Chains A and B, each alone.
Chain A
Amino acid sequence: MHPLRIVLAQLAPRLGMLDENLARHMEALASARAGGADLVVFPELGLTGYQLQDLAAEVAMRVDDPRLAGLAAATVGLSAIVSFVEEASDHRLFISAALLEDGAVRFVHRKLFLPTYGLFDERRFFAAGDRLRTVDSRLGPRLGIAVCEDFWHLAVPETLALDGAQILINVSSSPGRDLAAMHEVGLGTAASWRNLMRTYAQLTTSFVVFCNRVGVDETISFWGGSEVIAPSGETIFTAPLFDEGLHFVDIELGDVRRERISLPLLRDERPELHLRELRRILAERTEMAIDAASDPPDDRPQPGASEPS
C-alpha cells in the first residue's frame, strides 16, 4: 500500500485579498501536485484572511462561485481542503471548509462553533453551521473535516470518529497569545492545541491533520505549527512556528487498522448510552418533563430523600 502524501499549506493569507489568495492557492496546488501530493490542506479562511469584520460580506462566495470552481478544476487527480467565507442562498455568511476533489466541490463543512469571547468576535459576523458529517473521499478512508474552534468541543472529534472518519482534519486560524517561558513552545495557545490533538488522535484512534495559518492580521499573529498526528497519539510531523511553507508528510493508512485492533476504543464506545444521558441532560436543562417511559429505572436517591447519617 502506498503511503498517503499530505501537504500542509501553512500560508499567510492576505487580508481581504481574495484574488491574490486564490492565485497563491493555485500555485501551492501546482507545487503540491509536482511533489506527488494526494491531499493538500489549506488553513481556515486561507482564501480571505481572518480578521475580516465588515469585509466578510465583500469576499463571500457562493458554493457555485466560478472562482471556487476554478480552484476545484485544479484538483483533477488530487484532493484539497480550502476555506473561505461562504454565502448561503439566504445570504447568511459561514466560515466554510470545502473538500475539492477531481475537479469538483465535493463537500462543504460550515464552522459549527464561532468563538465570540476574548479576542474573538465571530458570531457578530457569521452564522454557525448546524451539520456535522463525515465525507467519503477518493483517498479511501472517510474524512472528518472541522474548523478551528470546532475542535475545542469534545463532541466534534468523537462524532466524526463514530461516523466513520479515519482522518480528522482541522483547518485553523489560531492567534498566538499567552506568551510565557513555562510553556512547551513559549506560547500557551500552541501548547494547548498540541495537547488536544494528541488526545483526539489517541482517543479516536485516527490520524489528526492540523493546518494552521501564519502571518499577521491587524494585531494578531498566527502561529502555524501545523501537525500530523498518528492514531497512536504520536506526532509524525510538526511544522515550524510562524514561517510560511508547504510541508509534505507521508502517512501509512494501515496504522489506523493496527491501532484499532490493538486498542479497540472505538469498538467499545457506547453512543447509545451517551445519547440516552444527553437526552436526559437536555430535558433537565430545559426543565421539560422527562418521558419516564423512555428512561431506564433509576434507583438513585432522589434530591430531598433522607441520606444515611
Chain B
Amino acid sequence: MAAGAGHEPVDGGGESAERLFELPPELAIDTDVALRVIVGFIRNQLRQAGFSRGLLGLSGGIDSALVAFLVADAIGPENLLCVLMPYRTSSSESVEHGRLVVGRLGCPSDAVDISPIVDGYFGRDGEEGAGGAAATEATPLRRGNFMARARMCVLYDRSVEWGGLVVGTGNKTESLIGYTTLFGDSACAFNPIGDLYKSQVRQVAAAVGVPEEIIRKAPSADLWPGQTDEAEAGFHYPELDRLLFWMIDKRRSDEELLAMGFLEAQIERVKRLVAVSEFKRQVPPVAKLGPRTTGVDYLYPRRRPGSARR
C-alpha cells in the first residue's frame, strides 16, 4: 500500500524523542473521550449482567495488555483475573510481558500451560494423540486454531470459579480481515476494544500507560516461533488500518481509494479478506420456521430486565 497524497504519519507517544508507534492522522482519536466511553461500557456490561468481576487471557501482546489496563481502571485490579496460557513453543517474551502487566496492575493472575491439552490431541514426539495418526501431521493453521480454542475453554472454565465475565481483547483490524479464530480468541462476553483499529489500540495503550516494550514489539499471534502478524499476512498495520478506515468507515469507492494512492492489488486483497470473513463476525443463521425466530423477529436487548444472573 502506498501512502496517500498528503498523508503524513504523526509520531505516537507525544513528546518522546523516539517514535513509539506510527499513527496515521485520520485515525487519531481523543483518548480521554475514548477512555470515558470504554470504562463506562465495561462497568455497565458487568453491572447489567449482575457481575462485578472480569477475566481475560493475557497473551503478552498489546491488545490484551490494553484491555487488562482498561478493566482494572473500570472495576479495580482486584476484580480482574489475568490468565496466562502459554504453549510450550510460545515465546518466553510473551510470558514475561504478561507478568509485567500483572505486576504493573497488581491484579490476581493464573498460569495454565495448554501444552498437555494441545499435545493430547495432536500428539507429541511421534506419539499419537486423541486426534489419531493424521492429526500428528496437522498444519500450523489447525494447531493455531486449536490453541486459540483451548484457551477459550480454559477461560470459560476459570470464569465459573472466578465468578466473572470473559472480556474480549480482539481489535477492529483483525476482526475486519478475519485474522481471528472463530469461537477461539474472539469468544467473549463483551469486547471493549473491538471498534478500535490496531493503530488506535496503540494510541490508547500509550495513553493508559501500557509498558513501552509491549507497545513497541511486533504484533504476533505467537502460535508458532517467530510468527508475526505483518509477516504472515503481508501488511503493515498503519497502512492496513488506513485502507480499512477509508474503505469501511468512510465508504470510499475503489476509484476513490486508488486516487488516494492505495494500490489496486491491496484494495482487492483487503476487500476479499473482509468479505470472506463475514461469517466470523456474525451469529450463525437459524433456519426460519416458526412465528418468532431469535435474531430475526425476536429482538430483545441482551441486557433486558431480568437478564442479570445474580
Give chain A's interface residues, CB within 8 Å of chain B: 14-17, 51-55, 176, 179-183, 185-187, 215-219, 221, 241-242
Q: Does B41 contact A (CB under 8 A)?
A: yes
Q: Does B234 contact A (CB under 8 A)?
A: no
Residues on the B chain within 8 Å of A217, using CB: 301, 303
Interface-facing stretch out of B30-38, B50-58, B97-105, B267-275:
B30-38
Q: Does B29 contact A (CB under 8 A)?
A: yes
Residues on the B chain within 8 Å of A185, using CB: 30, 33
CA distance A175 to B41 in the complex (A): 13
- A183–B37 CB distance below 8 A: no
- Tell me the dominant secondary structure on chain A's binding face: loop
Question: How would residues 26 to 67 of chain B score, 1 for a CB under 8 Å from any chain A CB and 0 otherwise?
Answer: 001110111011001100110010000000000000000000
Q: Does B310 contact A (CB under 8 A)?
A: no
**Can you name 4 extra interface pairs (CB under 8 A) apart from A179-B30, A241-B36?**
A16-B301, A53-B300, A186-B33, A221-B41
Number of B interface residues in the complex (CB < 8 A) = 21
Q: Does B302 contact A (CB under 8 A)?
A: yes
Q: Does B299 contact A (CB under 8 A)?
A: yes
Question: How would residues 67 to 105 of chain B score, 1 for a CB under 8 Å from any chain A CB and 0 otherwise?
Answer: 000000000000000000000000000000000000000
- A180–B37 CB distance below 8 A: no
CA distance A166 to B142 in the complex (A): 68
- B302–A218 CB distance below 8 A: yes
Q: Does B305 contact A (CB under 8 A)?
A: yes
- B305–A17 CB distance below 8 A: yes
Contact of A52 among B37, B40, B301 (CB under 8 A): B301
- A242–B303 CB distance below 8 A: no
- A176–B28 CB distance below 8 A: no
CA distance A74 to B229 in the complex (A): 61
What are 20 A-to-B residue pairs whose CB atoms are below 8 Å?
Answer: A15-B303, A16-B305, A52-B301, A53-B300, A54-B300, A55-B300, A176-B33, A179-B33, A179-B37, A181-B29, A182-B28, A186-B32, A186-B34, A187-B33, A215-B44, A216-B44, A217-B301, A217-B303, A218-B303, A242-B37
Question: Do A179 and B29 contact each other (CB < 8 Å), given the known contacts A16-B305, A218-B302?
Answer: yes
Residues on the A chain within 8 Å of B301, using CB: 15-16, 51-53, 55, 217-218
User: For residue A124, which residue of chain B has the nearest CB?
Assistant: B299
Residues on the A chain within 8 Å of B30, using CB: 179-181, 183, 185-187
Residues on the A chain within 8 Å of B36, using CB: 241-242
Residues on the A chain within 8 Å of B302, using CB: 218
CA distance A83 to B44 in the complex (A): 22
- A179–B34 CB distance below 8 A: yes
Give chain B's interface residues, CB within 8 Å of chain A: 28-30, 32-34, 36-37, 40-41, 44-45, 48, 298-305
CA distance A180 to B29 in the complex (A): 4
For the complex formed, measure the closest distance between the CB of A99 and the CB atoms of chain B, giving whole angstroms: 28
Top 5 A-B residue pairs of the complex, sorted by shortest distance between their CB atoms: A186-B30, A186-B33, A216-B44, A181-B28, A53-B299
| Most chain A CB atoms below 10 A, which of B34, B41, B44, B301 | B301
Question: Do A55 and B33 contact each other (CB < 8 Å), given the known contacts A180-B28, A181-B28, A215-B44?
Answer: no
- B305–A186 CB distance below 8 A: no
CA distance A242 to B30 in the complex (A): 15
CA distance A52 to B305 in the complex (A): 11
Question: Do A221 and B299 contact each other (CB < 8 Å), given the known contacts A17-B305, A186-B29?
Answer: no
Residues on the B chain within 8 Å of A14, using CB: 305
For the complex formed, measure the closest distance between the CB of B203 and the CB atoms of chain A, giving whole angstroms: 9
Residues on the A chain within 8 Å of B300, using CB: 53-55
User: For residue A220, which residue of chain B has the nearest CB?
Assistant: B41
CA distance A179 to B37 in the complex (A): 10
For the complex formed, measure the closest distance between the CB of B205 and the CB atoms of chain A, giving whole angstroms: 16
CA distance A4 to B304 in the complex (A): 39
For the complex formed, measure the closest distance between the CB of B224 and the CB atoms of chain A, giving whole angstroms: 34
For the complex formed, measure the closest distance between the CB of A209 and the CB atoms of chain B, giving whole angstroms: 24
Question: Do A54 and B33 contact each other (CB < 8 Å), given the known contacts A17-B305, A216-B44, A221-B41?
Answer: no
CA distance A215 to B303 in the complex (A): 13
Residues on the A chain within 8 Å of B298, using CB: 54
- B40–A15 CB distance below 8 A: no
CA distance A217 to B45 in the complex (A): 9
For the complex formed, measure the closest distance between the CB of A226 and the CB atoms of chain B, giving whole angstroms: 16
CA distance A287 to B29 in the complex (A): 47
For the complex formed, measure the closest distance between the CB of A139 and the CB atoms of chain B, giving whole angstroms: 34
Residues on the A chain within 8 Å of B28, using CB: 180-182
For the complex formed, measure the closest distance between the CB of B108 and the CB atoms of chain A, giving whole angstroms: 26
CA distance A166 to B303 in the complex (A): 40
Question: Do A55 and B304 contact each other (CB < 8 Å), given the known contacts A179-B29, A186-B32?
Answer: yes
- A176–B37 CB distance below 8 A: yes
For the complex formed, measure the closest distance between the CB of A18 and the CB atoms of chain B, giving whole angstroms: 9
- A15–B299 CB distance below 8 A: no
Residues on the B chain within 8 Å of A182, using CB: 28
User: For residue B29, which residue of chain A has the nearest CB?
Assistant: A179
CA distance A54 to B28 in the complex (A): 37
